[in-house]
A and B are shown apart, each in its own frame.
Chain A
Amino acid sequence: MSGATEENPAPVAATAPRPRKHPLSYLIRFQSLLGLILVVVGGIIFSPRRHGHILFLGPENIANIVRSISETGILALGMTFVIIAAGIDLSVGAVLGLSSVLTAALLVNQGWGLATTLPLVVVVATLFGLMQGYLSTRLRIQAFIVTLAGLQAARGLALIASDNTFININYGHGPGSAPPAFAILGERLFGDTFPVATLVFLALAIVATFLLNQTRYGRYVFAVGGNERAARLSGIPVRWIKISVYGLSGLCAGIAGIVHAGQFSFGSPNDGSGYELSAIAAVVIGGTDLFGGAGSMIGTIAGAVMLGALANILQLNDVSAAMQLLATGAIIVLAAGLQTLVGGRDGSSR
């Protein structure tokens, strides 16, 4: 719903009477950012201070936050397409693991170069996603089931690819080590502040936002998720759209897996376990409707950053494990609840 209000700001007919702006509507515009604002304000209030500086807002700390969400953020970008198309993809964490292991295995064990390894990993992950989409639409199995099965399958493939172990990535030349250029994914740029992993996320976020909001494909995704029959009646290639969103999600998981391998110089078949839930949480907190047809990419990005900032402020304050879990749960519900509250007024105020 936020997508619709954001993208049609200009009145079309000059003669048409423009409805008076409800004061709340400004809040509604930022609906998807509400959770983030909440957490940032809380972060500033509760942040430890040193020499009068708010640690939470320090550039290194911000860099830490955006680095920590780069992988789940990338997953959430793909997940946004899937959920707007009224689907769900539970396999992303496992596909991340598969891609991470595959990257490490090909670079280290097989001694392949980056130019062959990285495209291959991305293609494998994308095909994996497309396969799930195909099975779900063709056999009419619920996406939840198909991708749950996909989660298991991807973990199994990861175990095979890694030969049941984990692979350390050493840099250097010759057999048994990866090209040193790959280490850049773990570096920080611009005076050691900006993590490269975040840069990848940012670049993909821009592409994803553009794809969702500014292209025909994005419109098709909204239409299919909003009302599949109406979309079919309008001549939209419904089946292809439904398959392709899983391909996009797989693509994102593939890239996230490469980033994971690069960031940690390590590929393990267990990488990214549970990441799918963080990604789904980011999407839903960002205001995307789990039933499809409504949502925004900006919201998803804000949701991902919110989750990272929340974990960060709790860790800065050395909050105990139990309290971290409790606080995270409470704040997710609070953020989502506030959004529905404000979103609900959107509907009834007209």
Chain B
Amino acid sequence: MKTVKASLMATTFAAAAFAMVAPGAQAAQSIAKTCGPNNQYVIGFSQANFKEPYREHVNHDLQTLVKNYPQFKLVIADGQANDNTQVSQVENFLTQQVDILFISAFEAAPLTPAVSRIYKAGIPVIEMDRATEGNDYTSFVSGDNRAIAKEAGEYAAKLLPDGGEVAILEGLPSSSPAIERLEGFKAGIAGNSKITVVATQPVDWMQDKAVTVFSAMLQAHPDIKLVYTSNDLAAAGAYIAVKQANKLGQVKIIGTDGLPGPSGGIRSVADGEWAATFVYPTGAAEALDLAKKILIDCATSVPRLVTVPTSRIDADNAKEIYAKGG
């Protein structure tokens, strides 16, 4: 707490100085106002919500990995899937003068002004999963939703060499990952002209809705050979629907996220319930590495975009990865 107060004093002056010179123009200046290996730093992480398992997974990764950095203290705030809540949490981080902000915005545009403000106040901002608009952030760590879904589409095209009917369970229709994953998947299967997408329905990332919706799809289209779901929970729901329709083995399921642990998609693939899932990386390691460079190493510049590669979990590697704990 003492360091926070101390840095608060320092930053007041630093921020004033900072405001006079355009950020980025000073090549020799370090990004952080206070930096060096001998201080304690507070990382404020504004998480969009704690509801989706993927978010929980990110939190967990960050909490585990931050232990490797004795100088860092991680504070996580739950945005409760509410722009307004998340904005006020970012504002609170500014008031508390955290040393660096990690943020996974619930929605990009509404969070932009708040993030802009904290960035202009001289606090480095690492965005995760979703970038705010404009240029007011230090770095953006992300998986590429479109690329991951495209890979899933190409994999599906290979799974069904003779073509057939395919269904898609989309996420929350208005959210950008849902849109990108839908588009990416469609682009990926386009290579196989014998595949037809017979049904696309939103299930809002929810397992219970996925069961209901996919049950109806199997009624309307009994020949569905493969279903692509935009997250692991929906894939789990699709599996229940397939089981209840007595079609186990007849419908291939592809998930997205590739979460570890007994509730995650990796186990489902390892158990043969799904054909595959595609890891959407948390970016926790990459984000913490950036924080280290900025705060401890006093870096003068860091990459603006860090894309974390995806990996496919399928029958070949699932058991091994699951055994390693994800």
Q: Which residues of A contact B (CB under 8 A)?
A: 48, 50, 55, 58, 60-61, 63-64, 67-68, 71, 159, 164-168, 170, 176, 186, 188, 192, 195, 260, 263-264, 266, 268, 270-271, 311-312, 315-318, 321-322
Count of chain B residues with a beta carbon within 8 Å of a chain A beta carbon: 35
A270 vs B211: C-alpha distance in the bound complex, in angstroms? 17
The 18 sampled A-B contact pairs (Cβ below 8 Å) are A48-B220, A50-B222, A58-B219, A64-B212, A68-B212, A165-B56, A168-B263, A170-B262, A186-B240, A188-B244, A263-B240, A264-B208, A266-B236, A270-B51, A312-B216, A315-B213, A316-B216, A318-B200
| Residue in B170, B199, B208 with the greatest tally of chain A CB atoms within 10 Å | B208
Report chain B residues within 8 Å CB of A60: 219, 245
A60 vs B242: C-alpha distance in the bound complex, in angstroms? 12
A92 vs B171: C-alpha distance in the bound complex, in angstroms? 25
A157 vs B219: C-alpha distance in the bound complex, in angstroms? 38
Query: Interface code B192-236, partner A: CB below 8 Å = 1, 0 otherwise?
Result: 000000111110000110011101110110100000000000001
Query: Which A residue sits closest to B49, measured CB to CB?
Result: A270
Additional 15 contacts, C-beta under 8 A, given A48-B220, A168-B262, A316-B220? A61-B216, A61-B219, A64-B219, A64-B244, A159-B50, A164-B50, A164-B56, A168-B263, A168-B264, A195-B244, A266-B263, A268-B53, A315-B201, A318-B198, A318-B201
B261, CB-defined interface residue at 8 Å:
yes
Cross-chain contact A264 with B219 (CB below 8 angstroms): no
A263 vs B237: C-alpha distance in the bound complex, in angstroms? 10
Report chain B residues within 8 Å CB of A315: 201, 212-213, 216-217, 220
B95, CB-defined interface residue at 8 Å:
no
Give the Cβ gap from A160 to chain B, nearest Cβ, in Å: 13
A263 vs B219: C-alpha distance in the bound complex, in angstroms? 20
Given known A68-B212, A168-B261, contact A192–B220 (CB-CB < 8 A): no
Cross-chain contact A318 with B56 (CB below 8 angstroms): no
Question: Restricting to B224-278, which residues have a CB under 8 Å from any CB of A?
Answer: 236-237, 240, 243-246, 261-264, 267
Given known A60-B245, A166-B263, contact A55–B215 (CB-CB < 8 A): no
B37, CB-defined interface residue at 8 Å:
no
Cross-chain contact B53 with A55 (CB below 8 angstroms): no
Report chain B residues within 8 Å CB of A71: 208
Query: Which B residue sits closest to A170, measured CB to CB?
Result: B262
Report chain B residues within 8 Å CB of A58: 219
Which residue of the partner chain, among B173, B201, B207, B216, contacts A264 with CB atoms under 8 Å? Answer: B207
Give the Cβ gap from A72 to chain B, nearest Cβ, in Å: 10
A270 vs B213: C-alpha distance in the bound complex, in angstroms? 19
Given known A68-B212, A264-B208, A266-B263, contact A166–B201 (CB-CB < 8 A): no
Cross-chain contact B173 with A64 (CB below 8 angstroms): no
Give the Cβ gap from B59 to chain A, nearest Cβ, in Å: 8
Report chain A residues within 8 Å CB of B263: 166-168, 266
Query: Interface code B34-73, partner A: CB below 8 Å = 1, 0 otherwise?
Result: 0000000000000000110100100010000000000000
Cross-chain contact A166 with B53 (CB below 8 angstroms): yes
Give the Cβ gap from A176 to chain B, nearest Cβ, in Å: 8
Cross-chain contact A316 with B219 (CB below 8 angstroms): yes
Report chain A residues within 8 Å CB of B213: 315
Report chain A residues within 8 Å CB of B200: 318
Report chain A residues within 8 Å CB of B215: 64, 67-68
Report chain B residues within 8 Å CB of A68: 211-212, 215
Report chain B residues within 8 Å CB of A260: 208
Cross-chain contact A264 with B53 (CB below 8 angstroms): no
Question: Restricting to B124-174, which residues have a CB under 8 Å from any CB of A?
Answer: 170, 173
Cross-chain contact A55 with B220 (CB below 8 angstroms): yes
Cross-chain contact A166 with B216 (CB below 8 angstroms): no
Report chain A residues within 8 Å CB of B220: 48, 55, 315-318
Query: Which A residue sits closest to B217, measured CB to CB?
Result: A315
Give the Cβ gap from B55 to chain A, nearest Cβ, in Å: 10
Query: Which A residue sits closest to B261, measured CB to CB?
Result: A168
Given known A60-B245, A318-B201, contact A55–B212 (CB-CB < 8 A): no
A166 vs B49: C-alpha distance in the bound complex, in angstroms? 14
Which residue of the partner chain, among A48, A166, A264, contacts B211 with CB atoms under 8 Å? Answer: A264
Cross-chain contact A264 with B202 (CB below 8 angstroms): no
A316 vs B262: C-alpha distance in the bound complex, in angstroms? 33
